[in-house]
Amino acid sequence: MIKLAERLKEITTYIPKDSILADIGSDHAYLPIYCVKNKIVKKAIAGEVADGPLLAAKSSVKAYQFEQFIDVRKGDGLAVLKETDSVDCITIAGMGGALISSILDNGKEKLHQVSRLILQPNLAADQIRLWLLNHNWKLVKEKILEEDGHIYEILVAEQGDSEAPYCNDEDKEKQVFFGPFLIKEKNHVFYKKWKREYNEWLRVLEELDKAKETVAIIRKKSELKKYIQWYKEVFPDENTERA
């Protein structure tokens, strides 16, 4: 039986049953194989841009004799998809937020039939939230989890009112940064992630205070001070002075 990383197993819980799935950047195709084996999806496409992972994916699919259910294709991002595929769910996991956003943006004409996006950035999840907000994709669920010392966020989106998850315009930038659902839940992993970030902002700000002021440094210090203030607003009960 294929053993999925916890973050990938969590992703599968958000895939609607009997979907036609496209897993972009599928690596060894473990996620689509797991989904087919557990009858979560009817069919899947595993997309890969690099030859090494592409061959690994084909080998895995062949080993499970799932060739009739999983089509492994080479291509850049959503370029692997055809209109006749009738894909209704797309997963993209294990990349940076900027890269995931660019994949969605470059292939946005392929998203018309898609009803759900499940995205797991390794960093910069706020860039994905911003893309969703600007392209009529409604964030419907967020999950933050820790695995092997790394913290991951999972974003689930559907076509619809992209403004809906955000409470008001005044705090929208902050909610995009932290996540509108995560900022409400504030679980221990969320706290751990942002406590770590907060301490790093303080460290960098202290270093910048010693540097000669340039336009770039002034801009960076202003950004860090904004993030530090946001942290204090999100965690008002913490004695941040002694962090």
| 200 and 91 inside one domain | no
**Total number of domains in the chain:** 2
Measured CA to CA, the distance from residue 11 to residue 171 in angstroms comes to 28
Are the CB atoms for 167 and 161 separated by under 8 Å? no
Give the burial string for 139-149 (b: 16+ CB within 10 Å, else e): bbebbbbeeee
For the chain, 243 residues long, give each residue's pLDDT as a single digit of tens: 688 999 999 999 999 999 999 999 999 999 999 999 999 999 999 999 999 999 999 999 999 999 999 999 999 999 999 989 999 999 999 999 999 999 999 999 999 999 999 999 999 999 999 999 999 999 999 999 999 999 999 999 999 999 999 987 668 999 999 999 999 999 999 999 999 999 999 999 999 988 888 999 999 999 999 999 999 999 998 754 444
Measured CA to CA, the distance from residue 170 to residue 207 in angstroms comes to 31
Measured CA to CA, the distance from residue 204 to residue 54 in angstroms comes to 40
| 160 and 193 inside one domain | no
Domain boundary among 165, 197, 213: 165
| 32 and 73 inside one domain | yes
Q: Is the pTM of this model over 0.85?
A: yes
| 225 and 109 inside one domain | no
Q: Which domain holds residue 228?
A: 188-242
| 116 and 193 inside one domain | no
| 152 and 193 inside one domain | no
Domain of 125: which CATH number?
3.40.50.150
Sort 15 into a burial class: Cβ within 10 Å, 0-12 / 13-18 / 19+: buried
How many Cβ atoms sit within 10 Å of the Cβ of residue 220?
15
| 159 and 215 inside one domain | no
| 106 and 18 inside one domain | yes
Residue 216 inside a domain? The answer is yes
| 48 and 83 inside one domain | yes
| 45 and 77 inside one domain | yes
| 52 and 157 inside one domain | yes
